[in-house]
């Protein structure tokens, strides 16, 4: 009986030792990877934040201009064809109302 317990204890000790070695190995690999990443980060050229800000502002201004153009074009189109706009709006409203009413009928 004692031999069996001793074997189990030895086996457990060996397993624990193996696990500790694996953990140390993983820790060392992680440290090495971290050092590699740190070296790469330090070699990346710094970004000129002023230029980046200018580009961002420029991009937003272009987007704003495009949105304003779309709004103006849509407004002009609606003013040119008001009957079409009213008809399309009526049909869409009717269809949306029909779908909502149909779904309420199924749920309630």
Report the number of distinct structural domains present in the chain. 1
Q: How far is residue 51 from each of residues 20, 26, 41, 42, measured CA to CA in Å?
A: 51, 42, 21, 21
Q: Residue 85: inside a domain, yes or no?
A: no
Q: Residue 90: inside a domain, yes or no?
A: no
Q: Residue 96: inside a domain, yes or no?
A: no
Q: Residue 19: inside a domain, yes or no?
A: yes
Q: Residue 102: inside a domain, yes or no?
A: no
Dump pLDDT digits (tens) for 19-53.
888 888 888 889 888 888 887 777 666 667 788 88
Residue 71: the pLDDT is 92
How does the average pLDDT of the chain come out, rounded? 83
Ordered DSSP codes for 47-104: P-HHHHHHHHHHHHHHHHHHHHHHHHHHHHHHHH-HHHHHHHHHHHHHHHHHHHHHHH
pTM confidence score: 0.40
**Percentage of the chain modeled with pLDDT above 70:** 81
Residue 48 DSSP class: -
Q: Residue 13: inside a domain, yes or no?
A: yes
Q: Residue 107: inside a domain, yes or no?
A: no
Q: Is the pLDDT confidence value at 2 over 60?
A: no
- Whether 75 contacts 82, CB under 8 Å: no
Residue 72: the pLDDT is 93
Domain that holds residue 10: 1-44
Q: Residue 1: inside a domain, yes or no?
A: yes
Q: Is the pLDDT confidence value at 85 over 60?
A: yes
Dump pLDDT digits (tens) for 97-106.
999 998 887 7
């Amino acid at each position: 009986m004692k031999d069996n317990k001793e074997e189990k204890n030895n086996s457990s000790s060996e397993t624990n030792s193996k696990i500790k070695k694996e953990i140390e190995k993983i820790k060392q690999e992680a440290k090495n990877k971290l050092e590699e990443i740190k070296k790469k980060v330090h070699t990346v050229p710094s970004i000129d934040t002023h230029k980046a800000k200018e580009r961002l502002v420029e991009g937003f201004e272009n987007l704003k201009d495009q949105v304003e153009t779309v709004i103006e074009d849509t407004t002009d189109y609606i003013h040119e064809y008001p009957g079409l706009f009213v008809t399309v709006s009526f049909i869409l409203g009717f269809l949306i109302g029909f779908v909502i009413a149909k779904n309420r009928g199924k749920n309630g």
